[in-house]
């Protein structure tokens, strides 16, 4: 039981490039989330999903898109990366929406 | 949006000392959670609280759900070097008080704990 895994662990992008971050969970959780963490800002919700095929905007959704085609996977896309998207990205999943379990994070630098 | 104020922002303590930190909200929550984040890792759930007044322990950690439902407290007793990290509170707004029902947590800014041996 691996819990929540994230791919890749590190990535450097140039401004304007695109990429997709993959989150996978093997706990059969309905809810999945993408957060970003910046110094002094805590965790901010980007997008979330309450089940397969559903997505919704969180607190800071601009510049990101998501898809949840399979229950176990939640993808976060950056279509045209900007330096302001340099951050650590965390995926989380939950069975109830309350107790959320986090992945190890992806460190993204946009130059 | 919802705001959580977590304090203190940072703490520098000696090994063996007790630690207290708290979170306050401007609105009523129906769930409080406490997480710990080690450097370079994702947050790990420590304690979950579901009822006003609830007091729950996990080893040397004790957390309480405030009676007003707008605050929560975390205490660490007899700190050790491996307690170093960032501690986050998180709360789920009460859907019966105008909050969302989709499990969207609000996180505090974190308390950075440093323990000197």
Instruction: Render each residue's pLDDT in chain B as its tens digit; 117 residues.
Output: 557 899 999 999 999 999 999 999 988 999 999 999 998 999 999 999 999 999 999 999 999 999 999 999 999 999 999 999 999 999 988 777 665 656 788 899 999 999 998
Task: Give Cα separations from B31 to A1, A24, A49, A88, B68 (angstroms).
Answer: 27, 26, 20, 26, 12
Whether residue B92 contacts residue B31, with contact meaning beta carbons closer than 8 Å, is answered with yes
The pLDDT, as a whole number, for residue A94 is 93
The pLDDT, as a whole number, for residue B99 is 56
Which residues in chain A land under pLDDT 70? 1
- Residue of B42, B49, B85 to mutate, interface with A, max A Cβ within 10 Å: B42
The pLDDT, as a whole number, for residue B49 is 96
Task: Give Cα separations from A77 to A9, A23, A85, A108 (angstroms).
Answer: 15, 11, 12, 12
Count other C-beta atoms under 10 Å from residue A95's C-beta.
14
Chain B 3-32, residues with CB within 8 Å of chain A CB atoms: 6, 31
Of A44, A98, A105, the CB nearest to B92: A98
The pLDDT, as a whole number, for residue A19 is 96
């Amino acid at each position: 039981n691996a819990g929540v895994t994230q791919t890749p662990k590190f990535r450097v992008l140039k401004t304007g490039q695109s990429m997709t971050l993959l989150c996978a969970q093997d706990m059969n959780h309905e809810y999945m989330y993408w957060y970003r963490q910046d110094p002094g800002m805590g965790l901010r919700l980007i997008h979330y999903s309450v089940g397969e095929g559903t997505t919704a905007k969180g607190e800071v959704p601009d510049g990101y898109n998501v898809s949840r085609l399979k229950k176990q996977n939640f993808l976060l896309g950056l279509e045209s990366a900007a330096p302001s998207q340099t951050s650590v990205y965390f995926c989380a999943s939950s069975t109830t929406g309350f107790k959320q379990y986090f992945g190890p994070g992806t460190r993204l630098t946009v130059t | 949006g919802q705001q959580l104020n977590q304090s203190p922002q940072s703490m520098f303590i000696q090994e063996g000392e007790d630690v207290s930190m708290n979170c306050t909200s401007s609105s009523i929550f129906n769930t409080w959670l406490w997480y710990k984040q080690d450097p370079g890792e994702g947050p790990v759930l420590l304690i979950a609280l579901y009822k006003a007044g609830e007091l729950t322990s996990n080893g040397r950690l004790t957390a309480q759900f405030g009676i007003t439902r707008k605050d929560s407290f975390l205490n660490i007793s007899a700190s050790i070097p491996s307690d170093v990290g960032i501690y986050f509170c998180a709360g789920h707004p009460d859907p019966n008080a105008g909050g969302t029902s989709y499990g969207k947590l609000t996180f505090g800014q974190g308390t950075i704990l440093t323990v000197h041996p």
